[in-house]
Amino acid sequence: RTILRCLGDIATVEVVPAGTSAADILARRPDGVFVSNGPGDPVMAEGVVTTIRELLGEVPVFGICLGHQLLGRALGGTTFKLPFGHHGGNHPVRHEATGHVEITSQNHNFCIDPESLRGVVDVTHRNLNDGTNEGMRVRDALAFSVQYHPEAGPGPHDSRYLFAEFDEMMRRAGAKAGA
């Protein structure tokens, strides 16, 4: 519900089932598509990966947690199972552009192999405990994602700025479409 509240602060939100096709999503004329978190192995969600692949370049995309992993797979990347997973609060993540460390909440067992997306994405966030990919921005599409939960509220809201970035991305895409 917190994700919906955060998105509701920047847009009108319509939730669609995971099996909704890209054509059906685009027919709704969204300003952006948010790919949410969820349990499980991203390899098991190939239908959603196909949908995301078809949405890229058509509409801004923002993914969190499983949405981050699915975006990576849609771009041709691979995922792997972490030995212990990342669970709970207080996981330090460095925002690569600024060097700031965000204290994050996490709950996942899989990770994107950043080498599998070399030249396709820029890694934007890195886990300081194990060096894994915690965020990325797609080079050739208006799309980005993070592995952790910027909406979580167990402590500081270090990462809530990501929702404002998604808002700005949608506004830029809307301005281009209107031009």
Catalytic positions, written as ranges = 65, 149, 151
Q: Are 124 and 150 in contact (CB under 8 A)?
A: no
Beta strand residue intervals within the chain, DSSP E: 33-35, 61-64, 79-95, 101-112, 121-127, 133-138, 143-146
Distances (CA, A) of 121 to 43, 110, 133, 144, 175: 20, 18, 11, 9, 24
